[in-house]
Amino acid sequence: MLKQINMFGIIKNKLDNILVESFNNKETFKKVFHESMAALKTNKTSREFFVVYSQLENKKFKDSTQAEKYLNETLEFLKEKKKHLRLNKLQNTLNKFNKFHKKGRNALYENLDFLIFESNILDIEKRIEAKKSIVRKITTTKKEFVIEANVPNSLLIHLSTKKFNEKFINLKEGDKKKFKELFNKDIIKLENEMVPLIEEVSNKIDGLISETKDEGLLKKLEQTRNRVVESNIDKVSFYKIKELNRTL
C-alpha cells in the first residue's frame, strides 16, 4: 500500500474532486481555486508536479514506443525533483474544503505516485505493470468532450477529464465560453506573461497621466495604475489586464 506522505497524486486527485464538486457554486469555486493556486505558488516543485501530472493525463500518443520514452523522461524528471516537494500548505488549504471532497480514485495518479515515490526492489513486476497501465492510458484515443470545441489541454486547473465532463456539459453556453477564456493558459506561462503585461499597461497609463490635466480623470488613472501594479498573479487578473491593455 502506498504511503500517504508527500504522495502528490493523492493531493492532486483531492484538488480535482473539490474543484469539480464546488464548480456550480461560483463563490466557493473561486475561493477554492485561488487559495489552492496560492498554496501551489509557495513551492516551485509542487507547481512543477501539478503541471506534469496534468499534462500526462491529457497526453495522447499514436505510438507506444514514443509514449514509453515520454513517460520515462517524465519519471526521471520528477524523481529528481521529489526531494524538494512540500505539500503541507496545499494539504492544509484543501482540508478547509473537505465537505466538497467525494472520495474517488485516479489510476494514472496512483501509478505515477508508485513509480516516483516507491523504490522497493521487490516491486519490480508491479512497476512494470504500472508503466504499462500508463502507456495504455496515453495511447488510447477517446473523445474528450461532446461540445462544439474542446477545452484546451492547457486548462489551468487540469481537472480529471471524466469528472470535468460531467459538470462542463451541463453549463450554459455563456458560462462555457467564459470558462475557456479564463483558463486557457498554463500556470508557468501565466507567471512569465503577467509581469511584462503589467509593466506594459502601467507604462501606458503613466503616459496618459503625464498628458492629463483633468483632476478627476487623473485620479481615476492613478487608481487604475495602482490596481494593475498590485494585481495578483492569477487567471482573472490576467484576463482583465489583457482586456484593459487592448483599450489603451
Q: Is residue 3 part of a domain?
A: no
175 & 85 share domain: yes
pLDDT tens digits, 208-227: 888 877 777 888 888 888 88
Region 68-95: mean pLDDT is: 93
Total count of domains within the chain: 2
Which of 198, 207, 180 lies closest to 242, judged by CA? 198
pLDDT score for 207: 84
pLDDT score for 150: 37
97 & 145 share domain: yes
Residue 65 has pLDDT above 70, yes or no: yes
209 & 134 share domain: no
Boundary-marking domain end, from 161, 184, 207: 184
Q: Is residue 100 part of a domain?
A: yes
Residue 232 has pLDDT above 80, yes or no: no
pLDDT score for 245: 84
Residue 168: give the domain boundaries: 8-184
Q: Is residue 55 part of a domain?
A: yes
156 & 198 share domain: no
CA distance 161 to 206: 44
150 & 226 share domain: no
Q: Which of 27-41, 143-157, 164-178 has the lowest mean pLDDT?
A: 143-157
107 & 201 share domain: no
| Stated pTM of the model | 0.58
Mean pLDDT value across the chain: 79
103 & 23 share domain: yes
165 & 222 share domain: no
Boundary-marking domain end, from 184, 211, 231: 184
pLDDT score for 171: 64
Region 64-74: mean pLDDT is: 94
Q: Is residue 226 part of a domain?
A: yes
Cα dist. 87→13, 44, 47, 92 in Å? 13, 11, 10, 9
Q: Is residue 2 part of a domain?
A: no
Share of the chain above pLDDT 70, in %: 77
Residue 17 has pLDDT above 50, yes or no: yes
14 & 98 share domain: yes
Q: Is residue 39 part of a domain?
A: yes
Q: Is residue 71 part of a domain?
A: yes
Per-residue pLDDT band at 131 (split at 50, 70, 90) = very high
pLDDT score for 51: 85
Q: Classify 142 in phi/psi space as left (phi over 0), alpha (psi -120 to 50) or beta.
A: beta
CA distance 50 to 39: 12
Which residues 6+ apart lie within 8 Å of 109 measured at CB? Answer: 8, 9, 10, 12, 13, 53, 57
Residue 167 has pLDDT above 70, yes or no: no
Boundary-marking domain end, from 184, 201, 231: 184
103 & 157 share domain: yes
139 & 19 share domain: yes
Grid cell, residue 131, equals: 508503466
Q: Is residue 171 part of a domain?
A: yes
Residue 15 has pLDDT above 60, yes or no: yes
